[in-house]
Amino acid sequence: MTLRLVAGPLERFFAEAPDTPGPAGFDAWRGAVDRALAARGLAALARGAGADAPETGEALGWGAYGALVMWAAYADQPARTRPLMEPDEWHKDPAVLACAAPGFASHFPTLVRGVELWLPGGFDAVLEIPAPGGDVLDAGSTGELARELEDLNAATWAATGAEIRGWTDTVDAQSPRVDDLARRGLAAFVRAAARARAGAIAVWLEY
């Protein structure tokens, strides 16, 4: 199962989600999301460019995503020793599990708590919102995602913007090292977050 990172309009996210009721259901779903935001004292979603806004996506891969989550989890818990090599099951890593525990105050909540959709905006909460096909999903904001990526880089690599942009080409795509995988993951997320904020669109994981 391939993992992609996509930046695009919410209408596209809704249309491509599993078990979606189709384009006619988008307005009702968006209203449900707005009510979930209002319940937390947050403003409704701004009306963006609509379904015609451009969508960009790239292969991220579970290894790069998992390594980035681990990198954030260990930055949250510097007393722990981060593994050198990619584990078989990163989601069972003790630092990742500790960050997901109730009451843990993470500096990188949308990275370490299973968020799959970042809504246009700047709120700092992780929200439980209705999923397009029923059930629920965890969502953050593109503004919060950008802040977390910037803070994670500052706390660990302290790389320049040019260095981050170059990681996709300069870091070995076949490397099993957690630091190499995490750098490729960060570069992909930085690109997606920048596109999203420039176009008032969303970011999501597609698999």
pLDDT along the chain (207 residues), means of 10: 94 91 90 95 82 87 97 97 96 96 95 96 94 93 98 98 94 94 98 94 96
Give the integer Cα–Cα distance in Å for 141 and 69.
Answer: 17
**Predicted local confidence at residue 24, as pLDDT:** 86
**Predicted local confidence at residue 203, as pLDDT:** 98
End-to-end CA distance of the chain: 6
**Predicted local confidence at residue 181, as pLDDT:** 97
Picking from 129, 144, 125, 154, the residue whose alpha carbon sits closest to that of residue 197 is: 144
Phi and psi angles of residue 200, each rounded to the nearest 5 degrees, phi first: 55, 45
Give the integer Cα–Cα distance in Å for 205 and 105.
Answer: 24
**Predicted local confidence at residue 155, as pLDDT:** 97
Record the pTM. 0.94
Give the integer Cα–Cα distance in Å for 108 and 104.
Answer: 11
**Predicted local confidence at residue 49, as pLDDT:** 63
Q: Which amino acid is at 186?
A: L
